[in-house]
Amino acid sequence: MTANAGYHSYATGDVLTAAQVQFNLQNQVIMYFATSGARTTALTGVVVEGMFSYIPGNGLEYYTGSAWTTVSSPGDITGVAAGIGISGGGTSGDVTITNSMATTIDAKGDLIVGTANDAFARVAVGTNNQTILADSTTSPGLKWAASPQSILGTTGDILYASAANTPAALAAGTSGYYLKSGGAGVAPSWAANASAMTLITRASFSGVADTGTTFDGVFSSTYKTYLIVIENMGAVTNSDDLYLRLRYAGPTTQAATYNWNNAIILSNGTTATAYQNPSNWWQINRNSADSGNPLSGEFWINRVGNASEKPNMWGSSASSSTEEAVNFTGQQTTARIYTGVILSSSSTNITGTVAIYGLAAA
Amino acid sequence: MTTKAEMVAIIKAENLDGLRVGNEVDGYTQLTAAQFDTQIAEWAENRLAKQALLKSLDELKIARQALLHKLGITAEEAALLLGQ
């Protein structure tokens, strides 16, 4: 018979043996000892797994086969109540509790926010690139709203306030323009720098009888004075003169009524003059250059945008071919709104690069 | 003395592929035959005028030198005399 003999069925009239009392009864009841030492003394050599004992101060313990272990008290919990944010619970048997905040979430990105003391609600996720803002006028106290990321649609956009607390995008302006304040209460805008020159056009051409439509449409109401920069230009031979004529609506080349004079400083230091009144062009350089030794120069022109004004042009140039410097002045005695210029030489093709800048009127 | 017709022929010979206008970005446009003839005629007139101008300047220079020789002074002395 083992130390713990287990359950035994007794019949009426059975006489209990010492072994039955020892192994079926005594070894399987809850034994009382005054101390742990008394228990050790009493059970040395007979202790087996499954024995129970009660010792004051220790409480109920059982033997695992290697040590005495306190029996927990699972019956202490008599009920589970669902508090704030929790649902479910119970007072008997297995109970389930559920996190109500978790089940309020329906989709990725949803937020749970407080709506009042101990109250919460779901705020569905916004659209991509929106941001969350505090808003006491809404039920949850928060709202999804446009963000810089959602407002700025493309490269070059600028963020500004279109009204109080209202961000907006100012689309990229014209190349070369600067951001201009409209003053308090007015949206900013893009504008040409009023104190600087703006490149209107720059073009290179090779072996042309004239520049044709290249510099049409360069004069406008935006500017009053223009700078024509001849970065380099030459005719086929340096015996040619360089011409500039005005263009107007159509465009049509202004064919006559030019006045001009050239003050020429020769390579030996002496001076010469050339002039024509009237002429069919402005001669801006005598014996201009050839394409291998091009001309460089700058010419200013104004009074081109007013139907009642006669244009003036002035400037200077230098030729590395003839080693002459030429100061030019010219007038066009027909008043009209001119829109551009055309360049040519007196009798051969020209090759070069020319840029035209506008000087802001304001 | 070169005539205009001769000068036109000279310039046409210099431009056997015709003439064009335009630029590198927008492209070039070839002049029509009529436009070509008009342009060549204008260039011929300009070139003849330039030749005439240079010829007159040369003649003026020769005349000036002859006068200086006749007066027996140099160009610098003449400039000094004229206050230049």
- Test A205 with B26 for CB contact under 8 angstroms: no
| Cis amide prior to A188 (ω within 30 degrees) | no
Distance CA(B10)–CA(B44), nearest Å, equals 9
Report, as an integer, the average pLDDT of A282-308: 88
Residue of A nearest to B35 (CA): A209
Residue of A nearest to B41 (CA): A347
Residue of B17, B19, B23, B39 to mutate, interface with A, max A Cβ within 10 Å: B23
Is A341 contained in some domain? Answer: yes
B19 at interface of A, judged by CB pairs closer than 8 A: yes
CA-based nearest residue to A232, from A325, A133, A118, A319:
A319
> Does the predicted model carry a pTM greater than 0.90?
no
**Cβ-based neighbour number of residue A11 at 10 Å:** 5
For the cut 80, the answer to whether the pLDDT of residue A77 exceeds it is: no
Q: For residue range A103-156, what is the model confidence (pLDDT) as tens digits?
A: 999 999 999 999 999 899 999 999 999 999 999 999 999 999 999 999 999 999
Q: For residue range A201-218, what is the model confidence (pLDDT) as tens digits?
A: 999 999 999 999 999 999
β-strand A197-208 against A350-360: which pairing, if any? antiparallel
Is A90 contained in some domain? Answer: no
Among residues A156, A191, A226, which one ends one of the domains? Answer: A191
**How many domains does chain A divide into?**
4
User: Which of A214, A236, A239 shows the shortest C-beta gap to B22?
Assistant: A214
Do A210 and A350 reside in the same domain of the chain? yes
- Contact (Cβ atoms closer than 8 angstroms) between residue A80 and residue A93: no
Do A172 and A208 reside in the same domain of the chain? no
Residue of A nearest to B39 (CA): A209
Distance CA(A129)–CA(A144), nearest Å, equals 10
Range of the domain at A271: 197-360
User: Which of B21, B24, B46 shows the shortest C-beta gap to A209?
Assistant: B21
How distant is the Cα of A340 from the closest Cα of chain B, in angstroms? 14
CA-based nearest residue to A222, from A190, A245, A191, A176:
A191
Query: Measured between beta carbons, which residues in chain A are less than 8 angstroms from residue B25?
Result: 203-204
3-state secondary structure of A342: strand
- Contact (Cβ atoms closer than 8 angstroms) between residue A235 and residue A242: yes
Report, as an integer, the average pLDDT of A218-244: 92
Is A26 contained in some domain? Answer: yes
Residue of A nearest to B20 (CA): A208
How many residues does this entry show for chain B? 84
For the cut 80, the answer to whether the pLDDT of residue A289 exceeds it is: no
Query: Measured between beta carbons, which residues in chain B are less than 8 angstroms from residue A206?
Result: 24
Q: What is the pLDDT of residue A362?
A: 60
Is A111 contained in some domain? Answer: yes
B22 at interface of A, judged by CB pairs closer than 8 A: yes
Where in chain B does DSSP place strands (E)?
20-23, 27-30
Is A9 contained in some domain? Answer: no
pLDDT tier for residue A246 given thresholds of 50, 70 and 90: very high
B10 at interface of A, judged by CB pairs closer than 8 A: no
Following DSSP, what letter does each residue of A97-147 receive, concatenated? Answer: EEEHHHHH--STT-EEEEEETTEEEEE----TT-EEEE-TTSTTSEEEE--
Distance CA(A82)–CA(A158), nearest Å, equals 53
B66 at interface of A, judged by CB pairs closer than 8 A: no
For the cut 80, the answer to whether the pLDDT of residue A342 exceeds it is: yes
Residue given tokens 């029509």 in the structure block: B32
**Distance of alpha carbon A179 from the chain centroid:** 18
pLDDT tier for residue A288 given thresholds of 50, 70 and 90: low
Do A154 and A282 reside in the same domain of the chain? no
Is A335 contained in some domain? Answer: yes
For the cut 90, the answer to whether the pLDDT of residue A192 exceeds it is: no
Is A85 contained in some domain? Answer: no
Query: Measured between beta carbons, which residues in chain B are less than 8 angstroms from residue A204?
Result: 23-25
User: Which of B15, B19, B24 shows the shortest C-beta gap to A206?
Assistant: B24
- Test A348 with B25 for CB contact under 8 angstroms: no
Distance CA(A358)–CA(A199), nearest Å, equals 6
- Test A346 with B50 for CB contact under 8 angstroms: yes
Do A261 and A168 reside in the same domain of the chain? no
Q: What is the pLDDT of residue A97?
A: 92
Is A325 contained in some domain? Answer: yes
How distant is the Cα of B16 from the closest Cα of chain A, in angstroms? 13
Do A211 and A280 reside in the same domain of the chain? yes
Query: Measured between beta carbons, which residues in chain A are less than 8 angstroms from residue B50?
Result: 239, 241, 346-347
Residue A236 token pair: 């086929």
Residue A54 makes CB contacts below 8 A (sequence gap 6+) with A30, A31, A32, A33, A60, A61
Residue A346 token pair: 């007196």
Distance CA(A151)–CA(B16), nearest Å, equals 60
Do A258 and A282 reside in the same domain of the chain? yes
For the cut 80, the answer to whether the pLDDT of residue B67 exceeds it is: yes
Among residues A130, A145, A160, which one ends one of the domains? Answer: A145
